[in-house]
């Protein structure tokens, strides 16, 4: 299939509206666009540099938890939630009541990410895996009644009050199983010579066009990018998440996906996708460098001032890389010490500028490793 001759699909008349039936994608794609080739080469290079950083940085799994929190909040914000990274790090009891629904959606996303990444060792990307991930994503909160874990059994749409005035109506639900089967085959077809980044860019477009679930399609579709790259070995660790870039360029992200369907023009989407990979991988590698610099400064200069308390302080810092917002009770549990010892160590960390108190209260105080969190929010 020549990209320049791609036909995205056709509109199919339903009762009172037309739905879009996308063309199948399990083809051997090729192109003659030098700009795409240049971007693809740079994207692969930047991805390789990010992967090298993740292998070089000690205890990289500590920091991946924060990457997941950032991805969960950015991907959810595209869908309209208001939760920030700092909010996502809080316990439910510490979240304002009016923000708990949004907070729950972000927690569901983090749980879904942890699940699907853990499953990749034994399962490829498949209908079964996507459905189970979706079940977790919508299992609690607002999505509970939107068929978690099942492809939709009714028509959905984007924009408007009904399919008749919607901005986009995905294919009829009876088409979903065959279309998803074709997409799954495309992602794993070893008889075609399509670069992995091009393959997942086409795959993401196709998934969002099929819109196989009643809700959560955007989040699952964006998560699919990361798990595909890990499953194919382009990433050793799940360190590349494109939702932050897509959110910052939200209008272009939506417009480019729509352009494919409306003008049979997939090349601009592929170029946009490669630009997203380049920018995100560059930022990710830069963040890893800043993490290492901060870690050297905290552990090599500040903590040594604590003398014989250094080993316990080092243990706490390692825990803060995973979850940088804590209470005294959290610290006591992490270190298996009494509350008084935990409070003393927290006071030490506050004096060293590692922790800051964010509630302004004397009781139920919450502390955060602010310098570290800022590396994921700036």
Non-local (6+) Cβ contacts of 76 within 8 A are 83, 102, 105, 106, 109, 219
Q: Where are the domains of the chain?
A: 3-286, 295-374
Quick one: CA dihedral 370, 372, 376, 378, positive or negative?
Answer: positive
Sign, CA dihedral 242-245-250-252, equals: negative
**What DSSP letter does each residue of 146-192 carry, written as one string?**
S-TTS--SS---BSSSSGGG-SB----GGGHHHHHHHHHHHHH-TTS
User: Does the pLDDT value for residue 88 go beyond 80?
Assistant: no
* 356 pLDDT more than 90: yes
Q: Please say if the pLDDT value at position 313 is more than 80.
A: yes
More confident residue, 20 or 113: 20
The pLDDT value recorded for residue 335 is 94
Summary mean pLDDT of the chain: 90
State mean pLDDT over 253-277.
Answer: 96
Interval 48-53 mean pLDDT: 89
Among 251, 226, 244, 345, residue whose Cα is nearest residue 287: 244
Structure tokens that stand for 85 in this block: 């990274």
Radius of gyration, CA atoms only, the chain: 23
Say whether pLDDT at 108 is over 80. Answer: yes
Kindly state the tokens that stand for 133.
């991930």
Q: How large is the average pLDDT for residues 302-324?
A: 92
Percent of the chain at pLDDT > 70 equals: 98
Residue from 328, 338, 339, 314 nearest 361 by CA: 328
- CATH code: domain 295-374 is 1.10.10.10
Residue 327 CB neighbour total at 10 angstroms: 17
- Is the model's pLDDT at 307 over the cut of 80? yes
Q: Taking a C-beta distance cutoff of 8 angstroms, is the pair 280, 245 a contact?
A: yes
pLDDT at residue 244 greater than cutoff 70:
yes
Angle at 109 between CA 106 and CA 115, to 5 degrees: 145
Residues 314-330: pLDDT tens digits? 999 999 998 899 999 99
> Between 27 and 89, where is the model more confident?
27
Which stretch of DSSP H or E encloses residue 289? helix 267-297
Look at residue 58 in the predicted model and tell me its pLDDT: 67
Taking only the tens place, the pLDDT of each residue in 282-295 is 998 998 889 889 99
- For the entire predicted model, the pTM comes to 0.90
> Which distant-in-sequence residues (6+ apart) come within 8 Å of 200 by Cβ?
187, 224, 225, 228, 229
- Which residue do the tokens 């010892």 mark? 341
pLDDT value of position 252: 96
Residues 156-197 have pLDDT tens digits of: 999 888 998 999 999 999 999 999 999 999 999 999 999 999
CA distances from residue 254 to 1, 75, 278 in whole angstroms, order as listed: 24, 13, 19
Q: What is the average pLDDT across 11-26?
A: 94
Handedness of CA 20, 72, 51, 117 (dihedral sign): negative
Query: What pLDDT score was predicted for residue 316?
Result: 94
Q: Please tell me the CATH superfamily of domain 3-286, with its number.
A: Fido-like domain (1.10.3290.10)
The predicted model gives 103-113 an average pLDDT of: 85
């Amino acid at each position: 299939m020549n990209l320049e001759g791609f036909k995205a699909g056709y509109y199919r008349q339903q009762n009172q509206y037309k739905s879009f039936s996308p063309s199948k994608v399990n083809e051997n794609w090729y192109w003659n666009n030098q700009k795409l080739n240049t971007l693809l080469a740079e994207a692969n290079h930047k991805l390789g540099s990010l992967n090298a950083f993740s292998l070089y940085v000690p205890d990289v799994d500590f920091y991946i938890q924060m990457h997941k929190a950032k991805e969960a909040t950015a991907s959810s914000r595209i869908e309209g939630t208001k939760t920030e990274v700092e909010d996502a790090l809080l316990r439910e009891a510490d979240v304002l009541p009016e923000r708990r629904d949004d907070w729950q959606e972000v927690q569901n996303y983090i749980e879904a990410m942890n699940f699907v990444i853990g499953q990749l060792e034994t399962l490829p990307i498949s209908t079964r895996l996507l459905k189970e991930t979706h079940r977790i994503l919508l299992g609690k909160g607002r999505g509970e009644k939107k068929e978690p874990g099942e492809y939709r059994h009714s028509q959905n749409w984007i924009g408007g009050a009904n399919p008749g005035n919607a901005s986009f109506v995905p294919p009829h639900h009876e088409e979903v199983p065959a279309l998803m089967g074709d997409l799954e085959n495309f992602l794993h077809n070893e008889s075609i010579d399509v670069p992995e980044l091009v393959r997942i860019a086409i795959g993401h477009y196709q998934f969002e066009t099929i819109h196989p679930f009643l809700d959560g399609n955007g989040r699952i579709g964006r998560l699919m990018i990361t798990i595909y790259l890990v499953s194919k070995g382009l990433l050793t660790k799940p360190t590349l998440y494109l939702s932050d870039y897509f959110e910052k360029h939200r209008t272009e992200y939506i417009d480019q996906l729509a352009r494919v369907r409306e003008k049979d023009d997939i090349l601009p989407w592929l170029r946009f996708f490669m630009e997203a990979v380049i920018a995100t991988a560059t930022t990710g590698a830069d963040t890893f460098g800043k993490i290492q610099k901060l870690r050297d400064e905290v552990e090599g200069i500040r903590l040594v001032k604590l003398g014989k308390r250094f080993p316990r302080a080092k243990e706490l810092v390692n825990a803060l890389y995973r979850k940088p917002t804590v209470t005294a009770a959290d610290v006591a549990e992490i270190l298996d010490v009494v509350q008084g010892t935990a409070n003393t160590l927290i006071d030490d960390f506050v004096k060293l500028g590692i922790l800051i108190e964010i509630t302004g209260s004397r009781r139920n105080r919450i502390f955060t490793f602010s310098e570290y969190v800022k590396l994921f929010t700036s």
